[in-house]
């Protein structure tokens, strides 16, 4: 079973204004509302792909009711802790010519409620996967992920961490099963500016050597790179797509990678499927549905096959030239 934890869920209120002029009244042509949060996004894609999972975290107030009802209507298993005070935050996303986002702060989470979450996680069985993703609310310790992994280490739980900066680096000591930074986050960690999958591989290797078993680094439109649990390196491309909304693309990659491994696929194939999931969401208004994901995966397989065939032709041409010169 896969469990996702979202410390600071949200109601994502997406508006489509025709103008965005400060100091004036601006009007929207359409609006949508989604249950948001990194862990929730992972659970949504996993459920869409038919992978059993449970979404955990904290909700509060009428906005928390919206999140819970939305997830349940989508068939997602939930085990959220309800806060006695405060409301789940609202993130306003103004999707105009340039996307502008205003994220709410979220409610205060008492330590007693964190203890309740730990009690529920304590019932998670060996062999399960615990996905820790997203930022930590300011009311909680910065090293919350590290604390959780330390507390539940030695239990046979596979930890997945998708978090920025120190949150990620502090998690490496617990040897997480899978981490997924992007190329910009890797660049900030190592003081570099890698862009392509080939450029991020040396840094992914260093993160692997520091304790992470599988290191998947997303590189936007360039594709992604993976150093797997066996120490082998893989790169993949991004299937052709028109960017609509990048929100949730990274979470979709996490879900796709886990879903592929749940099916018994190889690490290389899991990387390709993760790339397809991320691209499918980037090309969708919200999170991608299964049919879109499968279409993008098919497109990516054809792209990679064409690249492989083209590379093989180039090798043959070089060999033939060498043979002629020797004759």
Instruction: Compute φ and ψ for 90, nearest 5 degrees.
Output: -115, 125
| Residue of 12, 146, 228, 251 marked catalytic | 251
Q: Where are the alpha helices (DSSP H) in the chain?
A: 38-48, 61-73, 111-121, 144-151, 165-171, 183-190, 197-209, 249-262, 267-282, 290-326
Q: Which helix (H) or strand (E) holds 34?
A: strand 28-36
Interatomic CA distance for residues 26 and 81, integer angstroms: 37
Interatomic CA distance for residues 262 and 171, integer angstroms: 23
> Strands 77-82, 233-236: parallel, antiparallel or unpaired by DSSP?
unpaired
Interatomic CA distance for residues 85 and 156, integer angstroms: 35
- The β-bridge partners of 11 are 35, 90
Active site residue 251: yes
The set of residues, in sequence order, having a beta carbon less than 8 Å from that of 133 and lying 6+ positions away, is: 4, 5, 6, 38, 39, 42, 160, 161, 162, 163, 251, 254
Interatomic CA distance for residues 238 and 219, integer angstroms: 9
Interatomic CA distance for residues 134 and 41, integer angstroms: 11
Residues classed as catalytic:
251
């Amino acid at each position: 079973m896969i469990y996702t934890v979202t410390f600071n869920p949200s109601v994502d209120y997406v508006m489509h204004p025709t103008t965005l002029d400060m100091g004036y009244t601006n009007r929207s042509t359409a609006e949508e509302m989604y249950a948001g949060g990194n862990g929730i996004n992972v659970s949504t894609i996993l459920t869409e792909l038919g992978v059993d999972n449970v979404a955990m975290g904290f909700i509060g107030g009428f906005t928390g009711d919206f999140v819970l009802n939305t997830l349940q209507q989508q068939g997602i298993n939930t085990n959220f802790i309800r806060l006695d005070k405060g409301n789940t935050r609202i993130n306003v996303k103004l999707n105009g010519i340039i996307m502008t986002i205003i994220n709410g702060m979220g409610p205060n989470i008492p330590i007693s409620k964190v203890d309740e979450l730990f009690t529920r996680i304590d019932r998670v069985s060996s062999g399960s996967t615990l996905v820790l993703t997203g930022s930590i609310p300011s009311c909680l310790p910065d090293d919350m992920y590290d604390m959780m992994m330390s507390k539940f280490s030695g239990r046979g739980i596979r930890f997945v961490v998708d978090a920025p900066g120190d949150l990620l680096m502090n998690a490496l000591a617990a040897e997480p099963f899978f981490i997924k930074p992007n190329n910009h986050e890797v660049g900030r960690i190592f003081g570099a500016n890698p862009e392509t999958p080939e450029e991020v591989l040396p840094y992914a290797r260093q993160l692997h050597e520091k304790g992470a078993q599988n290191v998947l680094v997303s590189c936007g439109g360039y594709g992604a790179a993976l150093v797997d649990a066996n120490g082998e390196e893989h790169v993949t491309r991004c299937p052709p797509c028109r960017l609509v909304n990048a929100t949730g693309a990274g979470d979709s990659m996490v879900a796709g990678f886990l879903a592929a491994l749940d099916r018994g696929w190889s690490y290389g194939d899991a990387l390709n499927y993760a790339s397809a999931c991320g691209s499918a969401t980037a090309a969708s208004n919200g999170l991608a549905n299964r049919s879109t994901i499968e279409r993008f995966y098919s497109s990516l397989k054809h792209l990679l096959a064409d690249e492989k065939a083209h590379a093989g032709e180039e090798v043959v041409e070089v060999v033939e030239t060498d043979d002629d010169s020797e004759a």
